[in-house]
């Protein structure tokens, strides 16, 4: 594994995310029991993360409380439009053939399945922030500046790299592309501001943890596509 990573250093940043989205893409074609797809892709992504990315997992933050505040702000932006305008998400900009959701909200049976809920909460709050920040701001935003991305310091800024990363991050979130774009811009800016992957992971984790709490407390299952 060390020899492979020395030849392909990008794998440490990209492999866990690619496994996660790869299982998502294949989920509908696999004979999986209801509710098992998300736990499976989370476990596979976690195993890939441990196997390929351990040297990168340094969680010493520089601005912990500010990162927590950033994460909370992104959460408020994420749920704000639908809270203020209840039918906002029904507009054709968010409901069309190009923006079909990648999944469906958790079914009634799964909402009482504690294994599913635990995997969903822990996956979205602990695993997803790590694999996404490694991919988007640890690798892509630097690779778009220079293909020898390890020579580019974390938090380096180039307008094209900044906006391409933000737009692709938004596209990952389907019908929530609008708030996904704002989140991508804010997370990108936070990386530039802190130059710290750990701070971006913390901010992202707070956003996802707040969203999980909101889904469970308010019954807003549509956010868990």
What is residue 109's predicted lDDT score, i.e. its pLDDT?
Answer: 62
Q: Are 1 and 34 in contact (CB under 8 A)?
A: no
pLDDT in tens, 197-214: 999 999 999 999 999 999
CA 16/CA 53 separation, integer angstroms: 8
| Domain of 83, in residue numbers | 60-223
* pLDDT band for position 2 (cuts 50, 70, 90): low
Q: Does residue 50 sit within a domain?
A: no
Contact at 8 Å (CB) between 167 and 181?
A: yes
7 within some domain: no
Query: What percent of the chain is predicted at pLDDT more than 90?
Result: 68
CA distance 217 to 219: 6
pLDDT band with cut points at 50, 70 and 90 for residue 224? confident
Beta carbons of 99 and 181 less than 8 angstroms apart: no
pLDDT at 5: 56
pLDDT tens, position by position, 109-160: 677 778 889 999 999 999 999 999 999 999 999 999 999 999 999 999 999 9
- Per the structure, the count of domains in the chain is 1
- If pLDDT is split at 50, 70 and 90, which confidence band does 1 have? low
Does a structural domain hold residue 51? no
- The SS3 assignment for 199 reads helix
Report CA-CA distances (Å) from 189 to 31, 53, 103, 122: 41, 24, 29, 26
Judge whether 3 lies within some domain: no
- Using an 8 Å Cβ cutoff, are 80 and 184 in contact? no
Q: How far apart are CA 141 and CA 146, in angstroms?
A: 9
- Contact by Cβ (8 Å): 8, 150: no
pLDDT tens-digit readout, 65-84? 999 999 999 999 999 999 99
Write down the pLDDT at residue 104.
55
In this structure, is residue 175 part of a structural domain?
yes
> Is residue 104 situated within a structural domain?
yes
- Measure the CA–CA gap between 89 and 38, rounded to whole angstroms: 24
Over residues 11-50, the pLDDT tens digits come to: 999 999 999 999 887 766 667 676 678 888 899 999 999 9
Residue 26 included in any domain: no
């Amino acid at each position: 594994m060390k020899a492979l990573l020395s030849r392909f250093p990008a794998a440490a940043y990209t492999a866990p995310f690619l496994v996660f989205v790869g299982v998502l893409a294949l989920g509908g074609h696999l004979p999986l029991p209801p509710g098992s797809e998300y736990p499976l892709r989370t476990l596979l992504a976690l195993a890939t993360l441990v196997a390929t990315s351990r040297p990168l997992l340094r969680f010493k933050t520089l601005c912990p409380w500010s990162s927590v505040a950033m994460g909370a702000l992104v959460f408020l932006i994420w749920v704000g439009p639908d809270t203020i305008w209840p039918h906002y998400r029904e507009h054709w900009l968010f409901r069309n053939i190009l923006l079909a959701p990648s999944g469906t909200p958790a079914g009634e049976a799964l909402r009482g399945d504690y294994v599913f809920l635990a995997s969903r909460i822990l996956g979205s709050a602990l695993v997803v922030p790590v694999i996404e920040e490694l991919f988007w701001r640890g690798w892509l935003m630097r690779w778009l500046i220079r293909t020898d991305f390890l020579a580019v310091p974390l938090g380096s800024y180039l307008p094209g790299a900044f906006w391409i990363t933000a737009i692709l991050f938004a596209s990952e979130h389907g019908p929530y592309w609008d708030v996904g774009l704002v989140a991508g811009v804010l997370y990108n800016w936070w990386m530039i501001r802190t130059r710290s992957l750990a701070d971006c992971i913390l901010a992202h984790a707070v956003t996802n943890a707040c969203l999980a709490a909101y889904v469970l407390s308010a019954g807003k299952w549509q956010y868990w596509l």
